[in-house]
Amino acid sequence: MTRLDKITDRLNLKEFQLRALLDVTKAINNNPGREELLDLYARILRDDLGITRLMLFEHADGWRCAHHFGAAAHQPEVDVRPIAEQYSDIQFLGSTDAAGLEGFDIAVPVHHRDRPLALLLIGDLDEEERRVSPAVKHLNFIQTITNLIAVALENRRLQKAALQQERDRRELELAAEMQGMLIPRALPNDAQVQAAAWYQPHRQVGGDYYDLFMAGPERMVLCVADVSGKGMAAALLVSNFQATLRAMFAAEPRLDRAMLDLNKLVMDRARGERFITAFLGVIDLAAGRMHYVNAGHNPPLLLRGDACTELSTGSIALGMLPDLPFVSVGEARVDGATLLAYTDGLVEQEDALGNSFGMERLQRMLMEFAPGGPAAVVETVKAGFEAHRAGEPYLDDIALLTCRFGHV
């Protein structure tokens, strides 16, 4: 080969490299799909440079193979952490490095701001062929184009994560707005019923819910519920639950029938992925009596005189099975009584030593402060809870509803 031929080859090579870099840059700017970008990268290395084996690993919550060709079936699953952690620059692999990576000769790590982004493994060295290895011949160019691709993939991942974060934020905002509309704006405070409540979500949106509404001149419906899960899906399920509940009792259904229908609603909407524990009570204010069903919920406390009773009669949680195996309706006198209903986030909250707030403490507070009315009970429980928590993170959502019923 003459000197002119060598110069021509070098110029052609430089022209190819510039054209390839331009193609990759244009592709990145056009924001193609991930696979389209990786296919372009693979074509340049395989078809234009003659690389016979390639595996490109990316680092995002661990190492995984993003693209490969010419590799054995098991090799994309090989743990490359030892190589990635040991080398920060181009490295020819020895036998100790390449366990499970037979046929791969060169490692090209990619770092960005001192953080590993990618690891390229390539192989084309053939000791029986007397030629300059394409991997060796084009190593600097391969490193450059791999850096471009790796940074583009990382930027794409970060952009996708940012978009998902924004969607999640907006979803939480919508769910919070929806949840705010579900909580009663005003609670009764008259001779027949006095009520007070406290709601504390674990995060921006919780899965707990309470409701108190009239379903007739002397008929009041009370509900405290806990939906498994958080976010928009839980908020939508609660919204459907509340709307159905209110519509049902406008038609004065039997309580056991209502629970069967509510169970069907939860199964249809959640498809077995979520369930609801709930306490549902229907109070006849004229008679001073309440019929109730406890569907797998923490038992409310009913204080009447000196007797404090746990209301546990009912069924399993709603949405756990297509059909409730049983529904038992409980009955209690409520005239002159104070009812305290709550969710598990209240009694299960732990202090710094791992001690739960507990039912016994809640019962003592109810018995001591019930004479002061529901608002006094709620404020006392809230203050005692915060003193117990003492800065420890909330473990779950909290809903507390307290009602005092007048004498008949």
Tell me the chain's radius of gyration from C-alpha atoms: 33
Determine the pLDDT at residue 156. 85
Determine the pLDDT at residue 127. 47
Q: E-strand spans in 237-275?
A: none
For residue 29, pLDDT beyond 60 = yes
Q: Please provide the DSSP assignment of 36-104 as one string.
A: HHHHHHHHIIIIIT---EEEEEEESSSEEEEEEES--TTGGGS--HHHHHH-SS-EE--TTT-TT-TT-
Give residues with Cβ within 8 angstroms of 73, minimum separation 6: none
- Class of the domain covering 183-405: alpha beta
CB 211 within 8 A of CB 221: yes
CATH annotation of 3-161: 3.30.450.40
Residue 190 pLDDT grade (very low, low, confident, very high; cuts 50, 70, 90): very high
Query: What average pLDDT does the segment 225-246 reach?
Result: 82
Q: E-strand spans in 161-271?
A: 193-200, 208-214, 219-227
More confident site: 125 or 65: 65
Structure-block tokens of residue 50: 């003659």
Determine the pLDDT at residue 88. 86
In whole angstroms, how far apart are CA 123 and each of 95, 119, 286, 363? 14, 13, 87, 72
Per the prediction, the chain carries an average pLDDT of 87
pLDDT cut 70: percent of the chain above it: 89
Determine the pLDDT at residue 331. 97
Determine the pLDDT at residue 206. 63
For residue 4, pLDDT beyond 80 = no
Given the structure tokens 């039997």, which residue do they identify?
254
Determine the pLDDT at residue 130. 43
Query: What average pLDDT does the segment 210-228 reach?
Result: 92
Query: What average pLDDT does the segment 178-188 reach?
Result: 77
For residue 395, pLDDT beyond 70 = yes
Query: What average pLDDT does the segment 307-336 reach?
Result: 96
For residue 56, pLDDT beyond 70 = yes
Determine the pLDDT at residue 126. 54
Determine the pLDDT at residue 57. 95
Structure-block tokens of residue 278: 């709930």
Whole-angstrom distance, CA of residue 17 vs CA of residue 45: 11
Amino acid identity at 312: S
Residue 379 pLDDT grade (very low, low, confident, very high; cuts 50, 70, 90): very high
Pairing state between β 289-295 and 314-315: parallel
For residue 1, pLDDT beyond 70 = no
Whole-angstrom distance, CA of residue 158 vs CA of residue 168: 15
Q: Domain ranges in the chain?
A: 3-161, 183-405
CB 352 within 8 A of CB 389: no
Judged by DSSP in three states, 267 sits in helix
Phi first, then psi: give them for residue 280, nearest 5 degrees.
-125, 120
Q: What are the tens digits of pLDDT across the range 57-85?
A: 999 888 999 999 999 888 999 999 888 88
Q: What are the tens digits of pLDDT across the range 86-119?
A: 888 888 887 666 678 888 888 999 988 778 899 9
Burial category of 225 from C-beta neighbours within 10 Å (exposed 0-12, middle 13-18, buried 19 and up): buried
Judged by DSSP in three states, 403 sits in strand
Phi first, then psi: give them for residue 105, nearest 5 degrees.
-115, -25
Determine the pLDDT at residue 133. 67
Among residues 234, 297, 296, 293, which one has the least CA distance to residue 266?
Answer: 234
For residue 293, pLDDT beyond 80 = yes
Query: What average pLDDT does the segment 274-290 reach?
Result: 95
Range from 44-48, 135-139, 342-346, 380-384 carrying the lowest mean pLDDT: 135-139
CB 50 within 8 A of CB 71: no
Give residues with Cβ within 8 angstroms of 220, minimum separation 6: 193, 212, 213, 214, 282, 283, 285
For residue 196, pLDDT beyond 70 = yes
Residue 152 pLDDT grade (very low, low, confident, very high; cuts 50, 70, 90): confident
Determine the pLDDT at residue 112. 81
From the centroid of its chain, how far is CA 351? 25
For residue 356, list its beta bridge partners.
Answer: 350
CB atoms within 10 A of CB 368: 12
